[in-house]
Amino acid sequence: MTTERFVSAVIVAAGSGTRMGSIAKPLIKIGGMTLLERVVGTFDKCKLVDEIIVVEREAGQFDSLVKAEKPLKFVLGGKTRADSVKCGVNAATDANYVCIHDCARPFITIEETEKLITLAFEHGASCACTKVKDTVKYRSDEEKCFYTPNRDNLIAVQTPQVFKKSIWLVSDALARKNGIVFTDDTSAAEHAGFMVFYEECSEENIKLTDANDIKIAKAIYFLKEHGDL
């Protein structure tokens, strides 16, 4: 790996877990391993990742939970997801590229991660996604549906999201200057005028948001282990 392509994986694990009943999602176990252990393990095996940075809610929260062959840092997050990502990126002092991933997505694969990182090397920014299967309606605050976008043009955005670090820094600075809080980093990059390349990844790359998602994750794990996925 050349110094021009030093990649820091920033794993966001600093959420409050409100919709999960205030359970720390990184500590949820699937198949005997916590989500954080699974995610760190994937990035540790990814040849294009040079270091791993875990953003935690409380100092020392996960330090003894995971180990890695690659350099591993733990940093304290902020009040919002955007603030936590910023804390992680700021800790990536050697990075030319940052690969941002939600700890709550435990099934991202090494192959998908390497594909996204390679796309970012080529184009500056990339993001995992899936196609939208349902018909989506745009509804007003008064619950009046007045727009149905073409489903063929819709994607659901996931993580990892990979950026040349300079692109991420400019995008974040502009969003903060304009007082805009985006729910993900691709929105900030596109707001700043950068193009993001989207790569379709497996539908197994789900995000665990509430208790029902844990059941789905356990089913995915069971089927993967028994060769049905």
Q: Are 164 and 147 within 8 A, CB to CB?
A: no
Q: Are 26 and 36 in contact (CB under 8 A)?
A: yes
Q: H or E stretch including 29? A: strand 29-30
Task: State residue 35's pLDDT score.
Answer: 97
Give me the mean pLDDT over the 196-211 stretch.
95
pTM, 2 dp: 0.93
Q: State pLDDT tens for residues 124-167.
A: 999 999 999 999 988 888 778 888 999 999 999 999 999 999 99
pLDDT tens-digit map of 3-31: 689 999 999 999 766 566 667 899 999 99
Residue 229: pLDDT over 60: no
Instruction: Give the largest Cα separation in the chain, rounded.
Output: 54
Taking CA atoms, 34 is separated from 17, 73, 76, 151, in Å, by: 15, 18, 19, 35
pLDDT at 191: 98
Q: Rounded CA gap, 117 and 114, in Å?
A: 5
Instruction: Report the pLDDT value the prediction gives residue 227, as an integer from 0 to 100.
Output: 73
Which band of pLDDT confidence, cut at 50, 70 and 90, is reported for residue 94?
very high
Which domains, ranges and CATH numbers included, belong to the chain? 3-225 (3.90.550.10)
